[in-house]
Amino acid sequence: MLKEFKAFALQGNMLDMAIGIIIGAAFGTIVTSLVNDILMPVLAVITGSPDFSNLFVLLKAPEGADVNMASADDIRKAGGVVLAYGVFINAVISFLIVAMALFFVVKGMNKMKKAEAPAPAPAPAGPTAEELLADIRDLLKKG
């Protein structure tokens, strides 16, 4: 059983998957930083909102609590209900950036594969039309 597990764990596909997961986690960290530290501040300057995650609509105010009404998290903790559309906007922006980055990665990999692939061998030259007609003529003479 130990030998079977070793063979399974050391298969090429398993190692490729492990490497992909590790690189994916690192890629996720980079994208998160890109969104939170670079793009969101630029969008905040353009839109005038310092943080999209605090954009919300108050659906039900918390009862009898002294709460910071400018924070969706504080309102939720106090028992209020908010529609936090800003968090959704952040998630959509993050998704679009990840999708775009993966598109460029796959496009680059496909370009590299095409460059590495050997040119297909030319098709073997077949008989010319005159040679085929001569063969047909010869077969008709025999038959």
* Domain membership flag for residue 140: no
Full residue range of the structural domain in which residue 57 is found: 2-115
Residue pLDDT, tens place only, 66-119? 888 888 888 888 888 999 998 888 888 878 887 887 788 788 888 887 777 676
For the domain that residue 16 is a member of, what is the CATH number? 1.10.1200.120
- Calculate the alpha carbon distances from 123 to 26, 79, 119, 120 in Å: 46, 74, 12, 9
The helix or strand, by DSSP H or E, that contains position 129, with its residue range, turns out to be helix 129-142
* Domain membership flag for residue 125: no
How confident is the model over 8-18, as a mean pLDDT?
A: 74
Q: By percentage, how much of the chain surpasses pLDDT 70? A: 93
Q: By percentage, how much of the chain surpasses pLDDT 90? A: 3
* Domain membership flag for residue 19: yes
State how many domains the chain has.
Answer: 1
